[in-house]
Structure 1
Amino acid sequence: MSSPKLHHYVPRFYLRRFADAEGRLWVWDRVVDRVYATSPSTIAAETKFYFHDEFAEQGHDPLTMEAQFASLEGAVSGLTGAWLDWIRAHEPGDALDISTDDRDRVGLFVALQFLRSADTRETIARFASRDSAPEPTVEEARKLHLHALWDEDLVASIASRLIDCTWVFAKNGSSTPLAASDNPVAFRTDDNRMWLKGAILSEGTYLVYPLAPDVIMYGYPTDGRYGTASVARFNNQISAVELTDGMVRSENTAQVFMASRHVVSVRPDFAWAKDFARTIGTDSYALPHS
């Protein structure tokens, strides 16, 4: 059997949740400003993205990382799929039964989803070229990224923060579907006014992660504005607040901000995404303060 060559940095099981009834994933390519329908297997992937040639040189399997991701994805796909079924069938205030092991798996998965993306690879390369250092080649950037993914302390620091968060799941009761992207794990400041690509371990910064067009997951840290007992008591619960159209549009701006290239949706309408994209880097758009 030949080794897989196209490696997804956003799992196909996740992207399939944002496909329409015919299995089509609607995509806005923000680089070339093109909207099209495709299969979830064709985006958020690159050839040999996790191929570790240093392992091959040492006589080990160069696809060890890809195999480990596949194993974790298999477990989390079934787990979060069951969560979605449960959340859709239950009421606000009901608490999902999440074991310690399941929380650890999902926390690790979300941390790795943030770290494994093409956007993170680009960020690492930019840091490597600061202070007038030459910009890394594509191959050098790939190796820097792989070394970061093998950094147990880095992965553990992000995973532990997410695992310790208060997890709240909100239903989307509006006519506007939640969107995703090729970099779907977003972080927001605790005043709700800024999305962040860096500083994700900063005090108060919380997780915003769409699980499907109709359900979103929040992770509120133990510090900052949300690090209180009054917030912690909602751990694992379905939020009492259903998302409105305006709230969904606000959360969807995260996917435009975070995306390397592709924003995805169950629908082909991306006018909202284009409108927000034009404001990135300006002060003409402010997220609502609450």
Structure 2
Amino acid sequence: MSERTKRQHVVPRFYLRHFTQEDGELWTHDCVTGSARKTTPEKTAFETNIYTPTGEDGARIDVIEDTLAKIESQAAKIYPELLAFRPLTPVAKLDFAAFLATMFARSPAQLRQFAQTMGQMALWGSRHEMEREFRQKKAKGEITAADTAVREILHSNEMFTMNVDRRVGLLAFQQAETLMHLMARMSWSFEVSEKQQLVTSDNPVFWVKGGGPPDLQGYGAGLGDRFAVIPFPLSPGVILRLDWRPEGAWKKFKLERQRAKLANQYQAKHKERLLFFRDSDQGLITLGMKYKAPVNQIDIGVPSPMIDVVRKL
């Protein structure tokens, strides 16, 4: 048996190789440390055992990492077809949609946000159970000062914080199959930038709303929204665009410099902490620092205490 992989890349190496210079290196900007360094895809964007939680027997569970490796292998074979602007067969399109769906689910941003959401749900369940018991005691006249104090603390969003293990966020992978089929149904086209290099990030798959009326307050556009757009960078000069416009399928469009800058802004806004680009560019470094705060795409709409996602409780 081959030795299991402990150094697990949150952004696949084969993908980052399409953003390297001739020497095989690219630039990684880290908005947390404020540093930019030239490195190789092998030496950036990885964590130890991020996708392999420990089971009850103490052994690592490798099913997610092994599955990601198989999906990446298929996507790597398809990638040259996309860079040559060739339409994919339905099977190849579905295979690459699987890659895009898992790229969304595997990012540190999604793992963090799903873990936070699970923490919120656990807290709501605790509050509901506590209220039920409190009402029962009150009906019996058994309420104590301690009961009242605990109830007050649990209902206060300012009196405590909650830690959640990030491995809970691995539940994000449960949505990958649904996303894959949605993405495969969308129209795929190409946007080519000739005057502005394009960046990618440690959260490169997301969707934005490309037109239409403004959303109602508190409502967001899901991927099934007819104005949803996924702008996925394939290289420093090409974006694979997924949307719901059938007339644009597999067409090639010129990406003007201002729109290319907007695409880079989207990547900077949606990253967790890392931007990747081929050529050193102070403007891109400034952009990474401008959007330093981690992305929050999941909003349940109900206030809760501060929930910190940690690598291990």
* TM-score tier after normalising by the smaller chain length: 0.7 to 0.9
Question: What SS class does the counterpart of residue 22 from structure 1 fall into?
Answer: coil
Structure 1 length-normalised TM: 0.78
Equivalent residue runs for 1:1-290 within 5 Å: 1-54=2-55, 57=57, 62-84=61-83, 86-87=84-85, 96-130=86-120, 133=123, 135-137=162-164, 140-142=165-167, 144-149=168-173, 151=174, 154-174=175-195, 176-191=196-211, 200-201=222-223, 203=225, 204-221=227-244, 231-239=245-253, 242-275=254-287, 277-278=289-290
CA distance in 1, matches of 2:162, 2:250: 44
Identity %: 22
Say if 2:182 and 2:224, in contact at 8 Å, map to a contact too: no
Say if 2:231 and 2:239, in contact at 8 Å, map to a contact too: yes
CA offset at residue 162 of structure 1? 1.0
The amino acid of 2:31's aligned partner reads R
CA distance in 2, matches of 1:58, 1:262: 32
CA distance in 2, matches of 1:234, 1:265: 28
Question: What SS class does the counterpart of residue 73 from structure 1 fall into?
Answer: helix
CA offset at residue 81 of structure 1? 2.0
Structure 2 length-normalised TM: 0.72
Runs of 4+ in 1 over 4 A off after TM superposition: none
Question: What SS class does the counterpart of residue 169 from structure 2 fall into?
Answer: helix
Q: Which has the greater radius of gyration?
A: 2
CA distance in 1, matches of 2:42, 2:213: 34
- Deviations along 1:148-181, one digit per CA (max 9) or x if unpaired, are 31x2xx222211221111111122222x211111
- Deviations along 1:116-136, one digit per CA (max 9) or x if unpaired, are 111111111221333793634
CA distance in 1, matches of 2:197, 2:43: 22
Cα 1:279–1:111 change in 2 (3 A) is closer
CA offset at residue 202 of structure 1? 5.5
Say if 1:177 and 1:214, in contact at 8 Å, map to a contact too: yes
Cα 1:272–1:52 change in 2 (3 A) is closer
Say if 1:108 and 1:159, in contact at 8 Å, map to a contact too: yes
Cα 1:102–1:37 change in 2 (3 A) is same
Cα 1:192–1:135 change in 2 (3 A) is farther
Q: Would you tell me which structure has more helix in proportion to its own residues?
A: 2
Question: What SS class does the counterpart of residue 51 from structure 1 fall into?
Answer: coil
Structure 2 alignment gaps of length 5 or more: 124-160, 215-219, 294-313
Question: What SS class does the counterpart of residue 185 from structure 1 fall into?
Answer: coil
Cα 1:122–1:279 change in 2 (3 A) is closer
Structure 1 alignment gaps of length 5 or more: 88-95, 222-230, 282-290
Say if 1:180 and 1:264, in contact at 8 Å, map to a contact too: yes
CA distance in 2, matches of 1:105, 1:115: 16
Cα 1:209–1:100 change in 2 (3 A) is same
CA offset at residue 83 of structure 1? 2.2
The amino acid of 1:19's aligned partner reads T
Say if 1:128 and 1:135, in contact at 8 Å, map to a contact too: no
